[in-house]
Amino acid sequence: MNDERRTVAHGQVESLDTRHIRADFPILAQQVNGKRVVFLDSAASSQKPIQVLQAMDDVYRCAYANVHRGVYAFSEAATARYDQAREKVARFIGAPSAEQIVFTRNATEALNLLAYSYGRHFLRPGDEILITELEHHANFVPWQVLAQERGLTLRFIPITPEGQLDLDQLDELLTPRTKLVSFAHVSNVLGTITDPRPIIQRARAVGAAVIVDGSQSVPHMPVNVSQMDCDFLVFSGHKMLGPTGIGVLYGKRELLEAMPPFLTGGDMISAVGFDGPRWNEVPLKFEAGTPAFVEAIGLGAAVDYLSALGMEAVRTHEREITAYALERVSEVPGAKIIGPTDPQIRGGVVTFTLDRIHPHDLASLLDGEGVAIRAGHHCAQPLHIRLGLNATARASFYIYNERRDVDALIEALYKAKSVLKR
């Protein structure tokens, strides 16, 4: 970004300058089916700015060598940049130290690491795990498998008709047997923003550890793990302008030190003899083998980009465009918005159905207009079952989206209705 903030003064709050931001994303200069690209699927995976692409390209071209393994210049340079990326991530989420940042492939792997390493080590038959009806499969299936294997009970915080968590039932659901609580900070389907503080405070009262899935919050709003006081936080790099293949597990140091490793092999040991291994210190204990260090450096560049924008400005922009999208989609005859309709408690996601048009058909027709949305159950099938729906359409927004993208979506919805005579 050449140290230039892509924000403009707007009253007391800086707004994103989307014209300059879009220029940083080469893919958005293309056309799809002869149409301007309207990318509305960032909740699945975001696009990448040239600054991230260049940072990774520079490593491969000019400073590539395996990290932690060489005393020559290339290896030392790559190791330094890898360590810097960890420090950037720690600062970005308010972690007390970089050693509490474990690099994983994605949030899914981070949650599986916790199920395997924390869950299998600390949970006993009869213990209870509490999650919510809003969860992505990544924060659902690992706990189902663990519960079946270990004789645990899996319980669920229900949702209200408005799509928010029914926290009035929390005191009944939290018992002395509850040993772990795991929930999404922001729903990837409904966009519901959950205040983590009351859940964490009440979980603490019964002695339960808390995992927060920040996959849909860390890329879109300020998140500070020290203020939140969660035990663990997970998120993926590819949803926040970074590359695929890199994710983050933040954990409190004492818990990470008490947990056994997830994978074993090179680099996660301090020594190996014929009588057995000794584990490395955290976070290296959880990073077996050659790490995705180029991807981590790319994530560090993404963190730089978002930090320069300011996460308050990012959140303000998304709240404004989401409010506009909620208004415009509600005007379309036959459209039904799923989830909260208040943009103050909703992330940059608008999920909806359109009468008598299957979401998959709708997404295909919109693609013909250059508009990319998601269709299906969005890896949250239990939530769709709870809602009585087989599938939904989802438009999700990020820093490069503008009001004209919403207008293009609405125009495409009307055209789809016309084509299908609905």
**Topology, domain 54-307:** Aspartate Aminotransferase; domain 2 (3.40.640)
Residue 422: pLDDT band with limits 50, 70, 90: low
Question: Using one digit for the tens of pLDDT, what is the confidence trace for 147-174?
Answer: 999 999 999 999 999 999 999 999 999 9
Amino acid, single-letter form, for residue 232: F
Q: Of 206, 379, 389, 420, which is the active-site residue?
A: 379
- Decide if pLDDT at 11 tops 90: no
| 7-48+310-419 and 54-307 have identical folds | no
Q: Is 62 a catalytic residue?
A: no
Three-class DSSP category at 234: strand
Question: Using one digit for the tens of pLDDT, what is the confidence trace for 283-337?
Answer: 999 999 999 999 999 999 999 999 999 999 999 999 999 999 999 999 999 999 9
Asked if 294 and 274 count as a contact pair (C-beta separation under 8 A), the reply is: no
Question: Using one digit for the tens of pLDDT, what is the confidence trace for 222-237?
Answer: 999 999 999 999 999 9
Question: Using one digit for the tens of pLDDT, what is the confidence trace for 244-279?
Answer: 999 999 999 999 999 999 999 999 999 999 999 999
At 1 the pLDDT is 43
Domain locations in the chain as residue ranges: 7-48+310-419, 54-307
CA distance 150 to 365: 46
* Percent of the chain with pLDDT strictly greater than 70: 96
**Residue-by-residue DSSP string for 168-207:** GGHHHH--TTEEEEEEESB-TTT-BBP-HHHHHHHHHHTT
At 235 the pLDDT is 98
Residues 395/401/402/406 CA torsion (nearest 10 deg): -10
Q: In degrees rounded to 5, what are phi and psi of residue 41? A: -135, 35
Radius of gyration of the chain (CA): 22
For residue 168, give every residue at least 6 positions away whose Cβ sits within 8 Å of its Cβ, in sequence order, or none: none
Question: Using one digit for the tens of pLDDT, what is the confidence trace for 100-152?
Answer: 999 999 999 999 999 999 999 999 999 999 999 999 999 999 999 999 999 99
Question: Using one digit for the tens of pLDDT, what is the confidence trace for 35-76?
Answer: 999 999 999 999 999 999 999 999 999 999 999 877 899 999
Both tokens of residue 48? Answer: 């990448």
Q: Which residue has the tokens 């013909």?
A: 368
CATH class of 7-48+310-419: alpha beta
CA distance 165 to 181: 14
CA distance 395 to 106: 22
